[in-house]
Each structure stands twice: as C-alpha cells, then as structure tokens.
Amino acid sequence: MTDTVHSRNVEHQDTAHPVTKALARKLTPGEWIMRIVLGAVIASFVVFFLLPIVWLLLAGTKDARSLLLENPMSFGSFEQLAANWEQLFSFQNGIFLTWIGNSALYSFGALVITLIVSVPAGYALALGNFPGRKALLLVTLIVMLIPNTALVLPIFLELSAVKLIGSPLAVILPFSFFPFGVYLTYIYFSTAVSRDLLDAARIDGASELRVFAQVAMPLAAPVIALVGFFSFTGNWNNYFLPFLMVGGKNVPVQVGLANLLSNVPQFNPTTATSIVIELPTLALATLLSVAPIVIIFLFSQRFLVSGMTAGGTKG
C-alpha cells in the first residue's frame, strides 16, 4: 500500500511539474515591458472614465466656492447637499420633476410600442416564410445604418403635416422607430430558439399566435430585456429630437439640463435671470438625470448578459 501511495505522489508531481515550471519561469524583459504598458493603459482608462464619475458624485455635496478651490475628490457636507437639493427642486416651481416625468412618459411610452412592434417583426423575419421577407430584412439593415439625425428633418415635416408638433406623440412615435431592436430579435430567434420545439407545439394543435405567445415569447425574455434596455436608454438620453419637437414645460430632462446650464454664470456670464444655478446644483441635476438608467441596469443586468450571449450558439 505504501508503494501505491508513493507511485501516486510521483505521478502527481510529474503532472504538476510543467505547470509549476511555467508559473515559476522568469519573465523576459519584453514581457515585463508589455505588462507595464498594459498596466499604464488600464490605469489611464480608469483615470479618464472613473474619476469624472467620482467627481460628479462628490460635487453635489459642496458649495460653489468649495467646488472650485478645495480638493476636487473631497466630500463636502450633507447640509450643503440638502441646500443644493432644495435649490434644484425650487427652480421654476419644481420644473425639474416635470422634466423627469416627461422623460419617463416619452421613454416608457416608446418602449411599449417598440416591444409590441420589434419582437413580432423579428420573429416573423427569422422563422416566417412569406414573399418579401428578404427585402424587409435588407431594408431593416439599411435603415439601421442611417444616422438618427439624418431622419430628423423628414420626421419633423411628417409630424408637422399631421399637426403633432408640440405634443407628446411628436416624441413618442419617432422614439418607437427602433430597427436595431428588430434586428436583435431576428438574430435571437434565428440562432437561439429551436425550430423543433416550435414545430412540436404546432403538431400538438397550437395556432401560430399561440406558438408565438406561449412558446417563443417566454424563450425570448433575455432578448426582450436587451431590446427594452437599449430602447429606453437611447430614448432617455436623446436630446436633439425632443429639442426640435416639443418646448416649454413638455421638454424632457436632457433638454431641461441645457436650460439649467443657461442659468449658470460660469457658462453664461450674460444671464439676467433672477434665479442663478450654481455648479454643484447643476452637477446634482446631472447625477439625478442618469440615475434611472443606472437603477434599471442594476436590476436587469442578469437578463442583459444572457440576452447578449444567448444568440452566440445555435439552439
């Protein structure tokens, strides 16, 4: 028995020896240089992207003087945070909340229409067989490549012709146009959903509508979440289209931030308004404007990851 144990230990040492030897191998000067360069690149990206976010989180806790003169990475006080909060929500009788509500209305309204249109369209293009299918797919891909700003003028003329300019529909309807969502669902249904499973449901007597609603839709939950997140994020952050389509109290928060910016003396020295917005208050407004996106991402990241990877293998 002792010989058996000894032979196993020898085999284990022989097996582990190449790995141990590889790990213990000294790095060449070229490998050291490569590691230093990679470390410097990563550190520069961290400084470039992470530090501004940290500064934004801390800026709302300071007054204007502290923000400009003190350590930019220092924390101010909760009292000053409360004062900046009060100044923000008292601006024009609390119009910031109206801007947030407008953004939610436009983004969620467009999201519902986008999902109602994109998911069935992607399903039909992926699994359907009808005349013009390839032409529709080609048109979807072409439109997806056109910059959104190139479509603003024709959309404005169309909505002006039906007298919708200035109404919420002038923002919701263009936001609902999301060919990338159709393409995502097309890819998902083409690769990640088994046709045999759908055929089995048809053999059992299910109608095409029932196959889609009770079989395909539950399987497509990850890509539905992915399309919904991309649509909501793009709509919430859109500035140019709402800026042209609506005005006054109907603007979303991204356009509202520009209005706040015009009341900051450092950015607009000629401002003559009675209410002056300080830089910390503007930073707090910016932070609150992106908070919904961060919250939605934190609660839906599991579905987003599965949605991005599910179409990578054939179902």
Q: Which pLDDT tens digit goes with each residue over 146-172?
A: 888 888 888 999 999 999 999 999 999
Mean pLDDT of all residues in 40-67: 87
Burial class of residue 242, CB neighbours in 10 A (0-12, 13-18, 19+): buried
Print the SS3 string covering the chain: CHHHHHHHHHHHHHHHHHHHHHHHCCCCHHHHHHHHHHHHHHHHHHHHHHHHHHHHHHHCCCCHHHHHHCCCCCCCCHHHHHHHHHHHHHCCCCHHHHHHHHHHHHHHHHHHHHHHHHHHHHHHHHHCCCCCHHHHHHHHHHHHHCCHHHHHHHHHHHHHHCCCCCCCHHHHHHHHCCHHHHHHHHHHHHHCCCHHHHHHHHHCCCCHHHHHHHHHHHHCHHHHHHHHHHHHHHHHHCCHHHHHHCCHHHCCHHHHHHHHHCCCCCCCCCCCCCCCCCHHHHHHHHHHHHHHHHHHHHHHHHHHHHHHHHCCCCC
Per-residue pLDDT at 272 exceeds 60: no
Per-residue pLDDT at 173 exceeds 90: yes
Lowest mean pLDDT among 84-98, 214-228, 248-262, 296-310: 296-310
pLDDT of residue 10: 46
Kindly list the domain boundaries of the chain, sorted by start residue.
2-89, 91-310
pLDDT of residue 3: 52
CATH (one of 1.10.1740.10, 3.40.309.10, 1.10.3720.10, 2.170.140.10) for 91-310: 1.10.3720.10
Collect all residues with Cβ–Cβ distance below 8 Å to 311 and sequence separation of at least 6.
187, 188, 190, 191, 192, 223
pLDDT of residue 260: 87
Q: Please provide the distance, in angstroms rounded to a whole number, between the alpha carbons at the two ends of the chain.
A: 50
CA atoms within 13 A on the CB side of 310: 24
231-269: per-residue pLDDT in tens? 999 999 999 999 999 988 999 999 999 888 887 777 776
Pair of tokens at residue 266: 């450092």
pLDDT of residue 145: 87
Q: Compute the distance between CA of residue 238 and CA of residue 232 in angstroms, rounded to an integer.
A: 10
The model carries a pTM of: 0.79
Supply the mean pLDDT for the chain: 83
Asked if residue 85 lies in contact with residue 59, where contact means CB atoms within 8 angstroms, the answer is no
